[in-house]
Amino acid sequence: MIKLSQIKAGVVGWPISHSLSPRLHGFWLNKYNIEGAYLSFAVAPEALGDFISAMPDKGITGLNVTVPHKESIFPFLDEVGEVAQKIGAVNMVTLREGQLYGSNTDAYGFLTNLQQKAPLWSAEQGPVVIIGAGGAARAAIVSLLAEGVPEIRLFNRTRGRADKLAERYDDPRLKVYDWAERSQKLSEISLLVNTTLLGMTGQPPLDIDLSLLSPLAVVYDIVYNPLVTDLLKQAKLRGNPCVDGLGMLLYQAAPAFEAWFGQAPMVDQDLRNYMLGGL
Ligand code: ATR
């Protein structure tokens, strides 16, 4: 048994009760017999700076960062990795030699889930459509541009937010369209991604007509509750390959667990089943 009882990590957010991260890291701690702890920290926005600065005193080695702190945490960190800077969001903080280092594994989680669940998809197959313009959309954009997709068609209810993203990335492959055009622009794409909350339990479904979508195009919904959203139900009926959002949650967590607890964890069906029990 690895004796690492001194290692303490957790997730910080406000509120935090909804977070599945303690269940996820708890599964791995148990599986690998690691005597570490992974806790939930409910920290209000105005208390974030003090909380982060006190990480060394509290003996916290690593923190996942969730809503609403992923952007506001930047000023409290000593260093931020390149991917996190590109995305403009930090989802993990690691204490390294007394320094607080922010990074982002959402783009990794997004892409690894896609590669695992849709192994036949590859970037050069054609344009992709992204729905949404928040932090999750930025993680998807950063990873897909880096993969070499030829074009991203971006749609957001509030067009101005999507225009800002296009300015931010300043890449001719990233093209913004009006929200009303989302169904018409599905032809010839290789991948459709929903990065919004639409389709989540308690939210309306994403209203989109898939008639023009090639049956070979992958449909990826980052929502995982429910696992099969309305969008994925529609896509499955048409025979499109589908990717649900649970894997993104699992894969974004794996590098954090490895960084803090020293064990590369497995993402497998056992873990998926266990996580589904927590939804
Ligand atoms: P995250 O960082 O998790 O991506 P966010 O920054 O709050 O979350 O972004 C939420 C996304 O869902 C946005 O693209 C938002 O569109 P707006 O920019 O127009 O707000 C989108 N969204 C949320 N509710 C929506 C709805 N009812 N219809 C369409 N888009 C919606």
Looking at this protein, which amino acid is placed at residue 262?
G
Q: What residues are annotated to the active site?
A: 70
In tens, the pLDDT along 173-227 reads: 999 999 999 999 999 999 999 999 999 999 999 999 999 999 999 999 999 999 9
Q: Which two tokens stand for residue 228?
A: 């099969």
Beta carbons of 191 and 218 less than 8 angstroms apart: yes
In tens, the pLDDT along 237-251 reads: 999 999 999 999 999
Q: How far is the CA of 96 from the centre of ligand 1 (A)?
A: 34
CATH class of the domain comprising 8-104+250-276: alpha beta
Q: What is the largest CA-CA distance in the chain?
A: 57
57 — alpha (psi -120 to 50), left (phi > 0) or beta?
alpha
Residue 3 has pLDDT above 90, yes or no: no
Nearest atom within ligand 1 for CA of residue 203: 27
Angle, alpha carbons 98-100-105 (nearest 5°): 135
Q: Who lines ligand 1 at CB under 6 A? A: 132-137, 156-158, 161, 195-198, 204
Nearest atom within ligand 1 for CA of residue 135: 2
In tens, the pLDDT along 73-91 reads: 999 999 999 999 999 999 9
Q: What is the SS3 assignment for 279?
A: coil
**More confident call, 1 vs 183:** 183
List the beta strands (DSSP E) in 133-245: 152-155, 174-177, 191-194, 218-221, 242-243
- pLDDT bucket at 172, cuts 50 / 70 / 90: very high
Nearest residue to 271 (alpha-carbon basis) of 259, 257, 262: 257
Q: How far is the CA of 132 from the centre of ligand 1 (A)?
A: 6
In tens, the pLDDT along 17-49 reads: 989 999 999 999 999 999 999 999 999 999 999
Residue nearest to atom 8 of ligand 1 (CA): 134
pLDDT of residue 4: 47
- pLDDT bucket at 72, cuts 50 / 70 / 90: very high
Residue 64 has pLDDT above 70, yes or no: yes
Beta strands 92-96 and 99-103 are: antiparallel
Q: How far is the CA of 156 from the centre of ligand 1 (A)?
A: 8
Residue 1 has pLDDT above 70, yes or no: no
pLDDT of residue 6: 76
- pLDDT bucket at 5, cuts 50 / 70 / 90: low
Dump the DSSP string for 90-121.
Answer: --EEEEETTEEEEE--HHHHHHHHHHHH-TT-
Residue 270 has pLDDT above 70, yes or no: yes
Q: How far is the CA of 134 from the centre of ligand 1 (A)?
A: 6
Taking residues 122-135, what's their average pLDDT? 98
Name the segment(s) of the chain with CATH classification 3.40.50.720.
121-240
Angle in degrees, 0-180, between the axes of helices 21-31 and 269-276, rounded to the nearest 10:
140
Residue nearest to atom 11 of ligand 1 (CA): 196
Nearest atom within ligand 1 for CA of residue 179: 29
Residue nearest to atom 18 of ligand 1 (CA): 158
CATH class of the domain comprising 121-240: alpha beta
pLDDT of residue 134: 97
Residue nearest to atom 16 of ligand 1 (CA): 157
Name the segment(s) of the chain with CATH classification 3.40.50.10860.
8-104+250-276
List the beta strands (DSSP E) in the chain: 8-13, 37-42, 60-65, 79-80, 92-96, 99-103, 128-131, 152-155, 174-177, 191-194, 218-221, 242-243
Q: How far is the CA of 135 from the centre of ligand 1 (A)?
A: 9
- pLDDT bucket at 100, cuts 50 / 70 / 90: very high
